[in-house]
Every structure is written in structure tokens, then in C-alpha cells.
């Protein structure tokens, strides 16, 4: 359990923010939230927490509603983004339920006031939750339109003094092209922040990468679908791409 000494010495990153896309929660379904998939992710998070990691989460909302898609269909962007933020709250509550089902104490903090279902975002309270071994899920992004959940994740990672931001994806790192459609795509073990920005690699949006560069927090891209991958990444092992200043 977090707060104990066992296992800490094996961790390269002790306090981390894990960013999961909303689409990842769909599992094999075409829309919405697949609870067996949430439970699978929860088991991975629990195993990492039991080794001494302090973990906070940001989950996208694309499985329910994506603000950019709404804006592209004629909806006012600010209104569409507000709807997208509500989708992230639904995902956060689903993941909280999955984690607490397997005995992991979890708190949801929202960038939008939603006092009946989530705490408001309070930085020092969130840090204290993590120090006590609770998983904290940050919902509703920054609470403002025009900012993606990637940028919200980068902001919360900096505010929580995280040692790394982990991005769980469908593939085991960053590639020069989509490896699912291009068998010749090159996989990178390491990248510089500036490489990602200059090559326009679609890891996350440019503002998020820039904030991680400015705060010198590495971004670790890996596949959350591989069993034990989160624990391996926390130890600096396993297939991944590390984006840093080095």
C-alpha cells in the first residue's frame, strides 16, 4: 500500500499522473463505458499503488462526447466543450466505482463545481489524498473551454509535482506513423520534447507537450492494454517511449 516502504526502492517514478483516453473505456463496444474494461484498468492501477506508487488520473471523454466534434457539427465551441467536460465526469465516476469495487480508496475532483458527486479541485487536498494512498481522478479538464484533456492532464501533473506523466495508449510507444496501417513505421525509445513538436508527432496536443517541457516532467507513452505494463513503466522497464529533455 502507498505510504509503506516495501517496493518504493524499485520505482523510478513514485508520483505519477496517468492519462487514459475516453475511447479506451469502450473496450470492444462502439460507444459508452464498458465496466469490465474499467475493472481491468483498475486492477493495473491497484497493483501499481500496492507497490508504493502515488497515482492520479485524467480520463478523456471521447467515448461519450467530444467537444471538437460537436463544434465541427455547428455547435458553439464553448458549449460543446462544456458537454465534453461533463462526459469526463461520467468516466471519472465509472472508474472510481471500478477502483472502489476492488478496495482502492478513490476521490474525484472536478474542474467544474459538481458538489453532489465530486469534490472541487483543491490542489493541497488532492496532494494529501495521494499521500494517504488514495487515487485521485481529475475530471472536467481545466474547467474551461478550448483546453483539451491532454492540456488538463499536463496542468494537473505539474500542480501535483508528479515525476512523470504516463499516457496509456493503444500501442506500446510513439511511432513515426500509425503502426496499425504502416508496417514500416519506426518506433522511438526516446524523444526530446522539441522533436515531438517539430515533427508534429501526434502524442498529445502542442500546449500539453510545451507545458511538460517547461516543467521538465517526462512523458512516458505505453500500452495500458498489456497486463503489468503500468508496473513495468513505473520501474523504468518494459516497452515505452520516454519524451524528455535528455
Would you kindly state where each structural domain of the chain is located, as residue ranges?
8-173+216-240
Q: In the chain, which stretches have pLDDT less than 50? A: 1-8
pLDDT at 226: 87
- Per-residue pLDDT of 5-21, as tens digits, reads 444 458 999 999 999 99
Q: What is the mean pLDDT of the chain?
A: 93
- Dihedral of CA 64/69/75/80: which sign? positive
Q: Cα–Cα–Cα angle for 39, 139, 164, nearest 5°?
A: 80
Could you tell me where the beta strands, DSSP code E, fall in the chain? 15-20, 54-59, 106-110, 119-120, 135-139, 164-169, 174-175, 187-188, 190-192, 219-223, 241-244
Q: Which residues contact 54 (CB under 8 A, 6 or more apart)?
A: 2, 14, 15, 16, 130, 131, 133
- Per-residue pLDDT of 118-162, as tens digits, reads 999 999 999 999 999 999 999 999 999 999 999 999 999 999 999
pLDDT at 4: 46
pLDDT at 94: 98
pLDDT at 9: 56
User: Alpha-carbon distance 186 to 108, whole Å?
Assistant: 38
**Fold annotation for 8-173+216-240:** Carbamate kinase (3.40.1160)
What three-state secondary structure class fits 238?
coil
Residue 222: beta bridge partners? 168
Contact predicate 238/232, CB 8 Å: yes
- Percentage of residues of the chain with pLDDT beyond 90: 83
Amino acid at each position: 500500500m502507498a505510504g509503506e516502504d516495501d517496493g518504493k526502492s524499485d520505482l523510478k517514478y513514485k508520483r505519477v499522473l496517468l492519462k487514459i483516453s475516453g475511447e479506451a473505456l469502450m473496450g470492444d463496444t462502439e460507444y459508452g463505458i464498458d465496466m469490465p474494461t474499467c475493472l481491468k484498468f483498475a486492477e493495473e492501477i491497484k497493483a501499481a499503488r500496492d507497490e508504493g506508487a502515488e497515482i492520479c488520473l485524467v480520463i478523456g471523454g471521447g467515448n461519450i462526447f467530444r467537444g471538437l466534434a460537436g463544434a465541427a457539427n455547428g455547435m458553439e465551441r464553448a458549449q460543446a466543450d462544456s458537454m465534453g467536460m461533463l462526459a469526463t465526469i461520467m468516466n471519472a465516476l465509472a472508474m472510481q466505482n471500478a477502483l472502489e469495487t476492488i478496495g482502492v480508496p478513490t476521490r474525484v475532483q472536478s474542474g467544474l463545481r459538481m458538489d453532489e458527486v465530486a469534490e472541487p479541485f483543491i490542489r493541497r487536498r488532492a496532494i494529501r489524498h495521494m499521500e494517504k494512498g488514495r487515487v485521485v481522478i481529475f475530471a472536467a479538464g481545466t474547467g474551461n473551454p478550448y483546453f483539451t484533456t491532454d492540456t488538463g492532464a499536463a496542468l494537473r501533473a505539474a500542480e501535483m509535482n508528479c515525476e512523470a506523466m504516463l499516457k496509456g495508449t493503444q500501442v506500446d510507444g510513439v511511432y513515426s506513423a500509425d503502426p496499425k496501417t504502416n508496417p514500416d513505421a519506426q518506433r522511438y525509445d526516446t524523444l526530446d520534447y522539441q522533436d515531438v513538436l517539430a515533427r508534429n508527432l501526434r502524442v498529445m496536443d502542442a500546449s500539453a507537450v510545451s507545458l511538460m517541457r517547461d516543467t521538465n516532467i517526462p512523458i512516458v507513452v505505453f500500452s495500458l492494454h498489456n497486463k503489468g505494463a503500468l508496473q513495468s513503466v513505473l520501474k523504468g522497464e518494459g516497452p515505452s517511449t520516454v519524451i524528455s529533455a535528455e
